[in-house]
Structure 1
Amino acid sequence: MPMPWPPASIPNEFGIFTLSLGNATHHNLQPRLEAAAKAGYQWIDLFDECWAAYLEEHGLPGTQLWEPTPDNLRVARELGGLIKSLGMRIACTQPLRAIEGIKDPVERRASLDLVAKRFPFMRAFDTDLVFLCANIRTDSGVTSDLRTVARDLAELGDMAKAYADADGGPPLRIGYEGLSWATRNTWSSTWEVVRMANRANVGLVVDAFNVLAVEFADPYHPAGHGRIYATAEESTDVLCSSLAALVATVPGEKIFFFQVGDAERVNPDTFKPPTDPAVPPLLPWSRGHRLFPFEEERGGYMPVHLVAAAVLATGYKGPVSLEVFNNSLNVPGADVAEVHARRGMTGLRKLAEAIPRVPAFWQRGGRQGRL
């Protein structure tokens, strides 16, 4: 059910992506988790690289992170238990990449089976959600055809249901996220796949950064304002038109996970697009310059609160989880996890305060008042 607006408070609990607490190269996972618990997070979004490094810390090969060996599953249960002992839960594991739309039947079967390899680990972690990012491949071996991609997601949903039916455990869910540099790079293009897949356990993952990176921002704009359109008003109008459609068409229960993050307004005179055609133009900005919500003092400028308000207005009840990549996470230092955990929680609290003040722009006449 849609949320009555404005809400008296935000009921959603807070989460954080493990990489947003520090890169696994320099930071072991347990201290990062302890920093998250100390800062007050309730949910952990487990990144593949962090899980692989955790296995290596326990003397197991990180290259075989999803092989369901007794040792790997034992360590997975230990990690799930550690996180519960800190008062948190694992919300999901991610990311799965280049899964859907593969034309060759043998390659397609192997790709879908990669997803199924995670199911035993989801039980060990005591989590029910895994999600895949929209395919970024552009070669002739893949297609973005709606029926083909929807068929793949439907089959993944059926595989997850069969696994849960067989072991008698809770349902397992498949989430689908549009990346801002993928062929399906908007919430609407990924939603049409989820809708056509027509499975109760297949849903949408919405990432505020990826929404804004396509529908609001242009880090390379020569004027240096970082937007697609010259004025903030026009940029906001276009964004809100899209978000109003999200509220009108996506039931809250079909949004399986919501991630938030801002990004730095960069100087287009010095921050240039990649020259390698194999590197998507938005990738360097995404990987090195994301920020937590409301970090204007660090260059943040995107209206994360508008995306968050729209998502919550659908009736979404899951975690609001930070997903931030930044060069500051790739340096050593004992305080990196604690500093980023604290910064992230500050941003989430500011976001929770800002959301009820957003006018219901998705309703007729709702654009009245400042956004």
Structure 2
Amino acid sequence: MITSIPKNTPLGDLPLAIASMSLGRAWVQDLEEKLDAAGRAGYHGVEMYWEDLVYAAKRFDPLATETSQEAIIQAARWAKEICDRNDLEVLVVQPFLNYEGTLDELTHAKQLVKLRLMFQVAKILDTDLIQIPSQMLKEGTTGDFDSIVADMKEVAVLGLQQQPPIRFVYEAMAWGAHIDTWEDIWRVVQAVNLPNFGILFDTFQIIGRVWGDPTSRDMKVANADQAMAESLERMRQTPGLVEKIFYIQLSDVEHLREPLSESHPVWKDDMPPRMQWSRNFRTFPCEDGNCLTPLTETVRTWFHDMGWRGWVSMEVFNKSMESPAADVPRIHAERGTKSWHKLLKELERA
């Protein structure tokens, strides 16, 4: 298992992963086909999406749900065999959703039951990492900082009690209900102050919040370039941050022909605009039609200015993932590796 990566490692030698979800949605693309495609494309690892395991569990129990312990454990063992066959490591199990700040005690307890199942799955898949996106539900939750920290410390302590210990990586969703910036995630990570609790940097989630606005004609917030430059400078100047970045995700987004509004074909009244942007229009970095202009500068900041080295995971999230075409896993896997090599060339040119 790749854990420690020397600071002088060339970028082209960093371990590359892809999110299993990005190779096709679980209800239309078989997990085995997706993992085989990742292996053939040369990835070192995958982010194992919980949805994929739930649908794989239906092989063993047609009525399986996301909390069907026995079937999901069988699915995890089956998936591990396929990963081994393809020389793929499982980088992380993700996501552990909508936990922090939950007010209802019963809901809170049910989430902990799921977390304990995720612990078992992580061990089977031989990974020590679980990803937590920031809370996306406003109803029934609180944004009280101390409450969020208490909940995150609770899961981190539970992780430390596992053998071997489980780490958690916390990510700011650009549309998060209470936390939507990397700075707020960093405050929580510092307050939790445990060795197994770190931060996930995602180009889309950071740039899409600081710089981007899908409801704007130019897809940018006011003073976008200045805001992004200031955000990157704060990253450079934050002591201890680089050691707490457990891995990074790279994704881009299409430049929309028309801003998101109620008249847009994909509009949903119950979904924040940045979430709609993410779910429908994300691409791999440096693909044609991208919108996140500061992407290269952001990645350069992490790799060159901050000297970060670790796992890199490619992520895409759009309607093409829902296509039932048999070649979707192959095409997406190849798009991801091509994107990574193109980004490396962009960094060299800069």
The answer to whether TM tops 0.5 is yes
The residue matched to 1:92 in structure 2 has which SS? strand
Which among 272, 277, 294 is matched to residue 286 of structure 2? 294
Identity across the alignment (%): 26
Q: CA deviation at 1:300?
A: 4.2
**Normalising by the residue count of structure 2, what TM-score does the alignment of the two structures yield?**
0.89
Q: Could you tell me how far apart the structure 1 residues matched to 2:112 and 2:298 are?
A: 31
Q: 1:68 matched to which residue of 2? A: 69
Distance of aligned partners of 1:82 and 1:270 in 2 relative to their CA distance in 1, 3 Å threshold = closer
Q: Is the 8 A contact 2:214 2:259 kept in 1?
A: no
Q: Does 1:188 align with 2:183?
A: yes
Q: Does 1:147 align with 2:156?
A: no
Alignment of 1:269-308 (within 5 A): 272=262, 277-296=269-288, 298-308=289-299
Gapped regions of structure 2 (runs ≥ 5): none
RMSD over aligned Cα atoms: 2.5
Distance of aligned partners of 1:276 and 1:32 in 2 relative to their CA distance in 1, 3 Å threshold = closer
Q: Is the 8 A contact 1:67 1:117 kept in 2?
A: no
Q: 1:215 matched to which residue of 2? A: 210
Q: 1:92 matched to which residue of 2? A: 92
Q: How many pairs does the alignment contain?
A: 342
Q: Could you tell me how far apart the structure 1 residues matched to 2:313 and 2:172 are?
A: 16
Q: 2:167 matched to which residue of 1? A: 173
Q: CA deviation at 1:301?
A: 4.3
Regions of 4+ moved over 6 Å: none
Which among 233, 242, 251 is matched to residue 241 of structure 2? 251
Distance of aligned partners of 1:162 and 1:290 in 2 relative to their CA distance in 1, 3 Å threshold = same
Which stretch of structure 1 is more off in the superposition, 117-126 or 251-260?
251-260
Q: 1:263 matched to which residue of 2? A: 253
Which stretch of structure 1 is more off in the superposition, 117-126 or 303-312?
303-312
1:159-197 alpha-carbon deviations (Å, 9 max, x no partner): 011122xxxx3x210111110111211111111111101
**Normalising by the residue count of structure 1, what TM-score does the alignment of the two structures yield?**
0.84
Q: CA deviation at 1:11?
A: 4.1
Q: Is the 8 A contact 1:294 1:300 kept in 2?
A: no
Q: Could you tell me how far apart the structure 1 residues matched to 2:130 and 2:333 are?
A: 23
Q: CA deviation at 1:114?
A: 2.7
Q: CA deviation at 1:356?
A: 4.7
Distance of aligned partners of 1:218 and 1:72 in 2 relative to their CA distance in 1, 3 Å threshold = closer
Q: CA deviation at 1:335?
A: 1.3
Q: 2:22 matched to which residue of 1? A: 20
Q: Is the 8 A contact 1:157 1:174 kept in 2?
A: yes
Q: Is the 8 A contact 2:131 2:169 kept in 1?
A: yes
Q: Does 1:350 align with 2:347?
A: no
1:28-82 alpha-carbon deviations (Å, 9 max, x no partner): 111111111111111101112111111113445430x44432x542331231121
Q: Is the 8 A contact 2:16 2:44 kept in 1?
A: yes
Q: Could you tell me how far apart the structure 2 residues matched to 1:20 and 1:205 are?
A: 18
The residue matched to 2:201 in structure 1 has which SS? strand
Q: 1:123 matched to which residue of 2? A: 123
Q: CA deviation at 1:117?
A: 2.3
The residue matched to 1:163 in structure 2 has which SS? coil
Distance of aligned partners of 1:60 and 1:330 in 2 relative to their CA distance in 1, 3 Å threshold = same
Q: Does 1:40 align with 2:42?
A: yes
Distance of aligned partners of 1:121 and 1:8 in 2 relative to their CA distance in 1, 3 Å threshold = closer
Distance of aligned partners of 1:242 and 1:285 in 2 relative to their CA distance in 1, 3 Å threshold = same
